[in-house]
Amino acid sequence: MVTLWPSPAKLNLFLYITGRRPDGYHHLQTLFQFLDYGDTIAITLRDDGKLRLITPVPGVADDDNLIVRAARLLRDAARQAGTLADGAGADLGVDKKLPMGGGLGGGSSNAATVLVALNHLWRTGFSLDELAALGLRLGADVPVFVHGHAAFAEGVGERLTPVSPPEKWYLVAHPGISIPTPVIFKDPDLPRNSPVRSIETLLKCEFNNDCEVIARKRFREVDALLSWLLEYAPSRLTGTGACVFAEFDTESAARQVLEQAPEWLQGFVACGVNISPLHRAISGANERW
């Protein structure tokens, strides 16, 4: 039987770079919130121990796909812990809606959904903290998707404090390009000296993204998109881009702007949510089981 699991997008409502580590990684302060919109992961359990990706990505080897890597990581950890049934395997697929290189966390969300859903389906018994520790080995953004609550993140994004920002409506727009994260973080002009502030202080300030100035400088498509959206509502980059979002109090206001969008704009309207749709699905599944 195929089971379907949400793999939601995230927004960085703000993102500040407070320093650079000797290993090249950056210290961040950022605010993650989920959207009620994203990919869908399909899982069919197998009893022959095999893990098979049924929706391969052109140009990406299956063994390098985050979905497969997450499933293998969980399987190996559960085998070591002695909590995996003999023959446990799965067919894994994804209905992809989120653009790659868009700053919406699609790959990290996919990995987290596989970890959380297979932990439930295989009954491996790992806690969310244990799953998040596994997920951190796949990417800095995976733990917030595993924990499933809007969060203030520090460090490289792995130190999480649950928060509940207002759940607003967003017009999320993609300029049709992909921005590799290293392009932004390696730019010599990237601001790296934002002051470290408490979440209480940051929530009272106007939200900004330190990566935005570099994305606008290096990618004219992002600059054009932000310039257009800023005529209608507060707008900014999410993550390192390429997606940008405009903030609205109502769904109808967001949709009215989307209807006026130029043909080159690719966008959707979604609501910000502080509890991940994945965790709502897991809660429902636990009630049924």
Residues annotated as catalytic (active site), given as ranges: 10, 141
Nearest-angstrom CA–CA distance, 72 and 44: 15
Neighbours of 47 (CB within 10 A): 10
Rg (CA), the chain: 19
Residue 124, token pair as written in the block: 């491996």
CA dihedral 60, 65, 67, 68 (to 10 degrees): 110
Based on DSSP, count helices (H) and strands (E) in the chain, helices before strands. 10, 10
- Antiparallel, parallel or unpaired: β 159-162 and 151-155: antiparallel
Distance CA 176, CA 170 (A): 18
Determine the Cα–Cα distance for residues 86 and 113; give it in Å rounded to an integer: 22
Instruction: List Cα–Cα distances, 115 to 238, 246, 276, in angstroms.
Output: 24, 31, 14
How far apart, in whole angstroms, are the C-alpha atoms of residue 34 and residue 57? 24
Beta strands in 116-177 (DSSP E): 151-155, 159-162, 169-174
Distance separating alpha carbons of residues 101 and 119, to the nearest angstrom: 28
End-to-end Cα distance, the chain: 15
